[in-house]
Amino acid sequence: MNTTHKPYIIYNTAIKEYQDFLASGKQEITLEKDGTSVIVKSATQPTSLLADSIACLNPTKDDIILTPGETLPASIDDRVSYPIYITLPPQELNDFLKNLSPEWKPRIGDFVFLSGGPLCGVIEPILKKYGYARDTMTQLLCGGFSTPENMVGTRKPRDLSCNIGVDAQGESKWAGETATCGKWAGAVQERFETNDIRCKVGFYREWRRLMWERASFDAVFNLVGAIRDEPTTPKDVALYYEQETSDMLWQVTSSLRGWLAVTLLYGFEERLFELAERRFGESQCEISEEMYPYMFCAPLDKGSMMVEYLNYAKDMKGLIPNVELPKTDNRPSAMLQGNLRADGVV
């Protein structure tokens, strides 16, 4: 969490990337078919909910599960190119990319990277470090489907997106969709939509906006809820702490726009509040030290609400005790009391 880098450098880099995209002339998305794929899972963790979920969605159940040290198939079903889903925890991703064997390096263009939600967080800084955050690279925003534990029989991941009405043109509006981009976007979409999970396909720049929208949801709603004295769900946050949540969201989006040249799509606030109310009424808000670098990786200004709340979580609630934070003289305001419910309970 570096607060000393200069925003104009990052902003100019983002503009240059956009200009390169326009100059490339690539204005069409080629949709490849799904088929037997490779799924790379951690060698250190006994189970992987993401690996199991993606494999479960394959109707033929013939995906090949590997760990980073194993050998990739030369071909699958006469295809020398096939999707390679990287379901490693974000904590292991940097070492995996840094230590790719000569056999794996030519296959980088077939990698499918996963972002979003409590299991993946934001991996963009890692991908940028190796030059993999680009138009052709396949990425999957996987916060839009459930990952049931100990899936057996016909129990599969389910769609978490929700229809929140229609827009001015009469088109349906959706919140919390799974989304994908890049070379294997068509194969990813087919796998999910065959199982009744909405999966939006778009160019990298559009996908990136959706990814940061989900990242804003994960960071803000969990932070606002985790500092309460009683267990709090994202739905509770949406219903009873609307004002401070909204204020923090807008501060985050301002930072994204100024530091990373990312502008969230119109209506993001409505989508995030609707998603919280409709799909997150059971899961408790939490801040994990292990996932902190991948959940709170948006630029943090010293005087921002998010920094104030993070310091409050550390100093007053004993959360994230080993995380170094930008210091602030401010404390969360009286809005911590939230909005009084109809039954008189805060």
pLDDT tens figures, 64-88: 999 998 999 999 999 999 999 999 9
Q: Of 25 and 266, which is predicted with more confidence?
A: 266
The DSSP result for 28-64, as a single string, is ----PPP---EEE--SSSS--HHHHHHHHT-TT---E
Please tell me the total count of domains within the chain. Answer: 2
- If asked whether residues 260 and 318 sit together in one domain, one would say yes
Q: Which pLDDT value is given to residue 152?
A: 53
Q: Which pLDDT value is given to residue 67?
A: 97
Q: Which pLDDT value is given to residue 297?
A: 87
pLDDT reading at 154 higher than 70:
no
Share of the chain above pLDDT 90, in %: 77
The counts of H helices and E strands in the chain are 12, 9
- If asked whether residues 98 and 175 sit together in one domain, one would say yes
Q: Of 165 and 340, which is predicted with more confidence?
A: 165
- If asked whether residues 65 and 101 sit together in one domain, one would say yes
Q: What is the residue type of 3? A: T
- Establish if 69 belongs to a structural domain: yes
Tens of pLDDT along 51-65? Answer: 999 999 999 999 999
Q: Which pLDDT value is given to residue 145?
A: 96
pLDDT reading at 16 higher than 70:
no
- If asked whether residues 184 and 289 sit together in one domain, one would say no
pLDDT reading at 7 higher than 50:
no
Q: How many CA atoms lie within 13 A of 146 on its CB side?
A: 15
Angle at 286 between CA 283 and CA 287, to 5 degrees: 150
- Establish if 189 belongs to a structural domain: yes
Separation between Cα atoms, residue 193 and residue 328, nearest integer Å:
46
Which pLDDT band holds residue 131 (cuts at 50, 70, 90)? Answer: very high
Average pLDDT estimate for 203-230: 97
Q: Which of 156, 186, 202 represents a domain boundary (last residue)?
A: 202
The tokens 């925890």 sit on which residue?
A: 89
Q: Which pLDDT value is given to residue 6?
A: 38
Give kind and range of the element (H or E) at residue 115. Answer: strand 111-115
The tokens 């991996």 sit on which residue?
A: 123
- Establish if 278 belongs to a structural domain: yes
pLDDT reading at 211 higher than 80:
yes
- Establish if 7 belongs to a structural domain: no
- If asked whether residues 35 and 120 sit together in one domain, one would say yes
Give kind and range of the element (H or E) at residue 185. Answer: helix 185-193
Tens of pLDDT along 287-320? Answer: 999 999 999 988 777 789 999 999 999 999 999 9
Residue range(s) defining the domain that contains residue 229? 210-337
- Establish if 37 belongs to a structural domain: yes
- If asked whether residues 106 and 187 sit together in one domain, one would say yes
Q: Which of 170, 202, 234 represents a domain boundary (last residue)?
A: 202
**Tokens describing residue 39:** 């799924």
Separation between Cα atoms, residue 310 and residue 312, nearest integer Å:
5
- If asked whether residues 330 and 290 sit together in one domain, one would say yes
- If asked whether residues 224 and 174 sit together in one domain, one would say no
- If asked whether residues 73 and 123 sit together in one domain, one would say yes
Q: What is the largest CA-CA distance in the chain?
A: 66
- Establish if 16 belongs to a structural domain: no
Q: Which of 202, 223, 254 represents a domain boundary (last residue)?
A: 202
Select from 16, 50, 37 the least CA-distant residue to 84: 37
- If asked whether residues 36 and 184 sit together in one domain, one would say yes
- If asked whether residues 224 and 130 sit together in one domain, one would say no
Q: Which pLDDT value is given to residue 300?
A: 78
Q: Which pLDDT value is given to residue 155?
A: 73
- Establish if 12 belongs to a structural domain: no
**Long-range contacts, stretch 270-273, CB < 8 angstroms, 24+ apart:** 270/164, 270/175, 271/164, 271/173, 271/174, 271/175, 271/176, 271/213, 272/175, 272/213, 272/216, 272/217, 272/221, 273/238, 273/242, 273/245
Average pLDDT estimate for 18-24: 49
pLDDT reading at 134 higher than 90:
yes
